[in-house]
Structure 1
Amino acid sequence: MLSQLHIRNFAVVRQLDIDFAQGMTAITGETGAGKSIALDALGLCLGNRADTEWVRAGSDKAEVVAAFTLSADSPASQWLALHELQADDDDCVVRRVVTAEGRSKAWINGYPATVGQLRELAPLLVNIHGQHEHQLLTRADHQLAIVDGYAQHATLLEGVRTAYQRWYQLRKQQKTLAQQSSDVQSRHELLAYQVQELDEFALTEGEYEVIDQQFKRAANSAALVEDSSFALNALFDGEHNNAHGLIQTALSRLEAQLDVDEGLAPAVQLLREAGVQIEEAARELRHYHEQIEIDDEQLHQLEQRVTTAVKLARKHQVEPHLLAQHHAALNAELKTLADQQVDTEQLDADVKAAASQYRQAAAKLSTSRQQAAKRLSQEIVLSMQQLNMPHAQFEIAVDADEQSPATPIGTDTVRFLVSTNPGQPIQAMAKVASGGELSRISLAIQVITASHLSTPTLMFDEVDVGVSGPTAAVVGKLLRQLGTTNQVICVTHLPQVAAKAHQQFQVEKSSDGQSTETFITALSNEQRVIELARLLGGDTITSATKANAAELLAS
């Protein structure tokens, strides 16, 4: 249940702290005072669209915090645990901040949350019935949603949705394959030719880098022989003035002077090391020189393979070193196309099976809807009779047709049929019911369906519009009865409804000429009498209206 609501700088509210209790709570006030401000603030807190107009003029941000007390096994508690957003106790605290620049932030139990998460959690905490709910009542999609909500067959709905998605995806694949069949055949022929060409060349992964290096070495073997021979002579083998000999000469002379000046020691050491390095280099060069072979036949073969690889790479618009990878990719694509051609018959069979599974799931859902529609119709008739419509007839027709177009929610069409006067044939609601009758039918449906919801808190925003007199007292009685199993918060202008509440809040608006502010006050029993008297008689409160208000409250 909703236990607390804290509102800061929201619309015309500067600061409000409201404590709610179990049972039925009525919110009353003069027209234009902002009786729905708490519901609007709660809606923002639970994921409604953030608008800069909600930020109070002159403030940098609006803030709403809603605290809920949950049972450990409630759907909301399970959702919080699933998303690792649970608190240490059984409370759930949701906070939303909207800045004057339009930026929005949200938290659930102190953890940062997305607006999407708020919207997922919201229906598990609160179910809000708006004052314009009756205007939706003539829409077929809304009528279907009412039946599904009453039936509580979420598993059947999910089964139909899953079956539909599978059937849809398979039909999409089937259509795509059919549209692309000629393209696939052409692509298959091209790939077969390209793969055969590359199969014949049979370049392996990493081979091009090896043969390219070998080709460069073979093509430059004469120069390598000449340059390595020159270097060997210059360093060691030359008869006159080779580097090693010159270093040894210099080293001998400097070593002879070490006794004279030890400062030559570092240079001597470096020359010794240089002599060793030159000897090592000479050995390596001699070995390298001996390994070089000039093989014209090998050079020709390497040249042909490298040239062919470059031509094929250019033809396939890839780098030569990527030709082997490209070959493998073409081979894989060719195999996939071949598999697709083989799997066409299997896909046709899968589509047929998926269609059958969908129709079976839709039929089960339709049966559940028909059963629920019959029960709901009977309950609505009883409620309509209580709401001063003694001759009312109401029927929910569920039209099921296996040949109807498939949708994610089945193939049924739901129609609300009503007759409100004796002798009047039962017809579609939009053709028969007046505005006031629609309001009462809508209220009856909302109260009945709300009692089947697992949502702990139900909020009604002036759903009693168009209701008055004895009917209003029945409305209040229905809402109070609902308050025995759920927390009910009702914004109302009817004293007969407000008097049935377990607690009552009064909304007032004040202005100093420069700014306007809305307040919400919890009323004592004596204050409730005054407020109910105002609702009964207007601004002039007499002893008669007060007596009437006290009688209402006592009843």
Structure 2
Amino acid sequence: MLTSLSIRNVVLIEALDLEFGAGLSVLTGETGAGKSILLDSLGLALGARADSGLVRAGEAQASVAATFDPPAHDHRAWALLAENGIEPEPGESLLIRRTLKADGGSRAFVNDQACSAALLRELGGALVEIHGQHDDRGLLNPRGHRALLDAYGRSDLAAVTQAHAAWRDAVDRLAQARATLDNATRDRDYLAHAVEELSRFAPEPGEEATLADERAAMQKGARLSDDLSAVAECLTGSDGGLAQLRQAARRLDRIAGEHPALAEVLASLDRAVIEAGEAEDRLAEAAEALSFDPARLDTIETRLFDLRGLARKHQVQPDDLAALAQDMAARLAAIEGGEEHVAALEAEVVNKAAVYRSAAQALSAERQMAAGRLDAAVAAELAPLKLDAARFRTVVAPLDEGQWGPQGMDRVEFEISTNPGAPFAPLVKIASGGELSRFILALKVALAEQGGADTLIFDEIDRGVGGAVASAIGERLARLARTNQILVVTHSPQVAARGAGHMLIAKSSDGTVTRTGVHALDEAERREEIARMLSGAEITAEARAQAERLLERV
């Protein structure tokens, strides 16, 4: 609900601070007093185009601030603010402010946080509906008609929304499976050949290092074989060093008792024989370790060359070939089983689509029934508003399958025919502004509490009518005001008498400067203003009496 409006330096308004209450508030005044300036100011705060012509002559800047009571927790305004990184404190009012410089530059704020004018427009549309001669938002926008009809018919969209999500999920999974299968099928021959080749070769992790080490050892043995043979020849054999040492030890053993020194020599020879024997054993072990088989070396080198060649071919490290073989085998198996998987997903998509179609068709039937009830409710409101020749209908038409969505498969639009025999057309095509406002009022009354902004503003809805029609307009505005805050700019005393609050817009001049002001009327002032509206320039006793009767009737 709009609680206050503060205007500074907008056209003829120098400084104005207004407070608004719940229910129906009426704004009256003589033609040219500045009612349009008031609405233009509010429009500026709600994100309308920033026209530098709104800045009061001689001033550098204009500003407008509108304060709203905190909307309900599930109001669309909160989602808009959250999407734009603005999160007011719980229970905090919303302050929307716009400044406009004389050179045309403007700035927008929500609770003193800078924002875009686009956000103000969205936020303003969620908080306030302004219905005037050139309004093309709110009920005139077909994009909102389906939601309004669903709210009116109390349709539950949960089943359709869930079925649509399940259907789209199945479609996405099918598309992914088909893409995977298509890509894999193109590689079928390559994968089959690669899997067969790798399986036949049977690479193992760590094999390259093992082969390389064995090859290096065998190559080293080949290089050292001559030296090892020569050393062995020196040590072993009948003429080798070890045999000579043993022979010398045997001879010395026979004469060692002849002199102590010979015993010492014998001990030394015994140690040498032992060491030489150990050396002979170690030499044999080394020769065995470094021995090589040319055929084995050739096999190792061939295997190592092929292993590295496969790795280069598949652009992996040799140690990764075994894992690559497993991966390719799995991909090949997926191709072979992919067609069955795709067939299963196709069946699931058909099933999910049928579930969605069934739920959406049930919703369509609900909408058709709700449309009939809404058409009848609107029709009942037309005649009292001097629209008895007009006809209203709610079109519920099927969408193309590509346009089906979480809200079903229907397009919904409100259409009217204003004259007998005239074709039906969208609401926005109505030529007469006053007629349009009354039609919006009839539709609003029929829809009652079914969504929309909390604050509704009607600009001269009673233009061109009077008497019983004006009374009917006032009665319906008062009815709407039970659930919404209603502000109406009016020239009709019958409408003005219905207001819970009454503000007078007047123009004043001190000879050099002209100003527009707004004054909240008390009961006596209100009676006098309604009398003026009844009688014109000269207020008569009869007009005052008639004003009294109008106020008493409401």
**What interval of TM-score do these two structures reach, taking the shorter chain for normalisation?**
0.5 to 0.7
What value does the CA root-mean-square deviation take over the aligned residues?
5.6
CA contact (8 A) 1:134 1:438 kept: no
Partner of 1:4: 4
Distance in 1 between residues matched to 2:514 and 2:301, nearest whole Å: 91
Structure 2 residue identity aligned to 1:464: I
CA contact (8 A) 2:413 2:426 kept: no
The count of aligned residue pairs is 472
Q: CA deviation at 1:38?
A: 5.1
TM-score of the aligned structures, taking structure 1 as reference length: 0.63
Q: 1:176 to 1:526 in 2, by over 3 A?
A: same
Structure 2 unaligned regions, length at least 5: 225-285
Are positions 1:147 and 2:149 aligned together?
yes
Partner of 2:475: 477
* Aligned with 1:489 (options 472, 487, 490): 487
Q: CA deviation at 1:479?
A: 0.9
Partner of 1:21: 21
138-147 or 209-218, larger mean C-alpha shift: 209-218
Are positions 1:163 and 2:166 aligned together?
no
1:111-190 mapped onto 2 (5 Å cutoff): 126=128, 129=131, 131-132=133-134, 144-153=146-155, 155-156=156-157, 158-168=158-168, 170-171=170-171, 184-190=184-190
Distance in 2 between residues matched to 1:140 and 1:86, nearest whole Å: 31
Q: CA deviation at 1:7?
A: 5.7
Partner of 1:541: 537
Distance in 1 between residues matched to 2:212 and 2:186, nearest whole Å: 38
Q: 1:218 to 1:76 in 2, by over 3 A?
A: farther
Distance in 2 between residues matched to 1:296 and 1:62, nearest whole Å: 98
Distance in 1 between residues matched to 2:481 and 2:450, nearest whole Å: 13
CA contact (8 A) 1:533 1:541 kept: no
Bigger-Rg structure (1/2) = 2
Partner of 1:351: 349
Are positions 1:75 and 2:71 aligned together?
no
Are positions 1:36 and 2:33 aligned together?
no
Structure 2 residue identity aligned to 1:445: L
User: What SS class does the counterpart of residue 490 from structure 1 fall into?
Assistant: strand
Q: CA deviation at 1:350?
A: 1.4
CA contact (8 A) 2:94 2:110 kept: no
Q: 1:202 to 1:38 in 2, by over 3 A?
A: farther
Q: 1:429 to 1:412 in 2, by over 3 A?
A: same
CA contact (8 A) 1:129 1:461 kept: yes
Partner of 1:229: none
Q: CA deviation at 1:118?
A: 7.9
User: What SS class does the counterpart of residue 502 from structure 2 fall into?
Assistant: strand
Deviations along 1:422-461, whole A, 9 cap, x unmatched? xx46952569976355443232002322x22366823124
Q: 1:174 to 1:464 in 2, by over 3 A?
A: same
CA contact (8 A) 1:393 1:426 kept: no
CA contact (8 A) 1:143 1:414 kept: yes
Distance in 2 between residues matched to 1:328 and 1:61, nearest whole Å: 74
Q: 1:439 to 1:96 in 2, by over 3 A?
A: closer
Partner of 1:371: 369
Q: 1:505 to 1:333 in 2, by over 3 A?
A: farther
Q: CA deviation at 1:111?
A: 8.8
Q: CA deviation at 1:356?
A: 1.3
Q: 1:363 to 1:216 in 2, by over 3 A?
A: same
CA contact (8 A) 1:34 1:509 kept: no
34-43 or 301-310, larger mean C-alpha shift: 301-310
Deviations along 1:113-152, whole A, 9 cap, x unmatched? 9999988977775555565457997887665454234223
Q: CA deviation at 1:483?
A: 1.3
Q: 1:387 to 1:185 in 2, by over 3 A?
A: same
CA contact (8 A) 1:211 1:302 kept: no
1:367-516 mapped onto 2 (5 Å cutoff): 367-390=365-388, 394-396=392-394, 398=396, 407-408=404-405, 409-412=407-410, 424=420, 428-429=424-425, 435=432, 437-449=435-447, 451-453=448-450, 457-462=454-459, 464=461, 466-470=463-467, 471-492=469-490, 494-506=492-504
Q: 1:95 to 1:201 in 2, by over 3 A?
A: farther
CA contact (8 A) 1:310 1:320 kept: yes
Q: CA deviation at 1:478?
A: 0.9
Q: CA deviation at 1:383?
A: 0.9
Distance in 2 between residues matched to 1:327 and 1:513, nearest whole Å: 98
1:323-338 mapped onto 2 (5 Å cutoff): 330=328, 333-334=331-332, 336-338=334-336
CA contact (8 A) 2:44 2:98 kept: no
User: What SS class does the counterpart of residue 488 from structure 1 fall into?
Assistant: strand
Distance in 2 between residues matched to 1:369 and 1:479, nearest whole Å: 27
Distance in 1 between residues matched to 2:207 and 2:509, nearest whole Å: 86
CA contact (8 A) 1:4 1:68 kept: no
Deviations along 1:165-207, whole A, 9 cap, x unmatched? 54355446656766886654223333343344445556667x4
CA contact (8 A) 1:147 1:369 kept: yes
CA contact (8 A) 2:148 2:450 kept: no
User: What SS class does the counterpart of residue 38 from structure 2 fall into?
Assistant: coil
CA contact (8 A) 1:493 1:535 kept: yes
Structure 1 residue identity aligned to 2:154: Q
User: What SS class does the counterpart of residue 484 from structure 1 fall into?
Assistant: coil
Residue identity over aligned pairs, in percent, reads 28
Partner of 1:93: 94
Q: 1:325 to 1:43 in 2, by over 3 A?
A: farther
Structure 1 unaligned regions, length at least 5: 226-289
Deviations along 1:209-256, whole A, 9 cap, x unmatched? 96699699879989xx9xxxxxxxxxxxxxxxxxxxxxxxxxxxxxxx
Partner of 2:245: none
481-490 or 60-69, larger mean C-alpha shift: 60-69
CA contact (8 A) 1:67 1:94 kept: yes
Q: CA deviation at 1:301?
A: 7.6
Distance in 1 between residues matched to 2:300 and 2:28, nearest whole Å: 96
Deviations along 1:309-352, whole A, 9 cap, x unmatched? 55444434456677677666655655554553221221221122
Q: 1:468 to 1:185 in 2, by over 3 A?
A: same
User: What SS class does the counterpart of residue 504 from structure 1 fall into?
Assistant: strand
User: What SS class does the counterpart of residue 37 from structure 2 fall into?
Assistant: coil
Structure 2 residue identity aligned to 1:469: G
Q: 1:514 to 1:41 in 2, by over 3 A?
A: farther
Distance in 1 between residues matched to 2:216 and 2:491, nearest whole Å: 98
Q: CA deviation at 1:68?
A: 0.6
CA contact (8 A) 1:55 1:98 kept: no
